């Protein structure tokens, strides 16, 4: 009689691992974002431009007492709010490439606001909006909070 025991067959490591196709892949959060194809990039740019052009719609969402101003194509917006700390201004600049720069600052007096107005790049690009910005800013300083 043969007492030789057959070796116990255990599945190899690769056989027990769940198939990759079963579990969806997740982008690593701490690495650069996954690059997109040309077609998808074009689609995203189109959607971004469409969203920017309807930025006036966002005016409905702002709080009472706030003033939202936007240039003709919605790439630059200004949110003005009179606070007890001074005039709060949030300047948002969007670009088709997907960059968005939000600058938040507080002007304690009309002088500092005027100094900022004197160098604001919009003064050459959209004169009407620039005038309105100055008027709204000065008006906000007269509001007591």
The answer for residues whose C-beta is within 8 angstroms of residue 116's C-beta and 6 or more apart is 89, 105, 107
- Residue showing tokens 């690059």: 35
Binding piece for another protein, criterion CB under 8 A, among 7-15, 65-73, 81-89, 131-139: 81-89
Q: How many whole angstroms separate alpha carbon 136 and alpha carbon 69?
A: 9
- What are phi and psi for residue 5, nearest 5 degrees? -85, 135
Minimum Å distance from CB 42 to another protein? 10
Q: Does 131 bind another protein (CB under 8 A)?
A: no
Q: How many whole angstroms separate alpha carbon 133 and alpha carbon 103?
A: 16
In this structure, the number of other CB atoms found within 10 A of the CB of residue 76 comes to: 23
Q: Does 110 bind another protein (CB under 8 A)?
A: no
Binding residue for another protein, selected from 13, 33, 50, 128, defined by CB under 8 A: 33
Q: Does 115 bind another protein (CB under 8 A)?
A: yes
Q: Does 56 bind another protein (CB under 8 A)?
A: no
Q: Among residues 12 and 39, whose Cβ is nearest to another protein?
A: 39
Instruction: Say if CB 86 and CB 107 are below 8 A apart.
Output: yes
Q: Does 106 bind another protein (CB under 8 A)?
A: yes
Q: Does 135 bind another protein (CB under 8 A)?
A: no
Q: How many whole angstroms separate alpha carbon 134 and alpha carbon 83?
A: 17
| Residues found near another protein in the complex (CB under 8 A) | 22-27, 29-36, 40-41, 43-45, 47-48, 51, 58, 61, 81, 83-86, 88, 90-91, 93, 97-107, 112-113, 115-116, 118-121
């Amino acid at each position: 009689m043969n007492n030789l025991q057959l070796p116990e067959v255990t599945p190899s490591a690769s056989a027990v691992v769940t198939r990759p196709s079963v579990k969806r892949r997740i982008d690593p959060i701490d690495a650069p974002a996954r690059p997109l194809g040309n077609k998808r990039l074009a689609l995203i740019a189109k959607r971004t431009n469409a969203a920017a052009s309807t930025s006036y719609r966002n005016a409905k969402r702002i709080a009472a007492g706030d003033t939202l101003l936007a240039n003709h194509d919605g790439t630059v917006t200004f949110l003005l709010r009179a606070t007890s700390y001074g005039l709060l201004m949030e300047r948002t600049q969007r670009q088709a490439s997907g960059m968005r720069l939000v600058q938040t600052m507080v002007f304690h007096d009309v002088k500092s606001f005027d100094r900022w107005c004197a160098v604001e790049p919009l003064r050459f690009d959209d004169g009407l909006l620039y005038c309105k910005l100055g008027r709204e800013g000065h008006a906000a300083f007269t509001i007591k909070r």
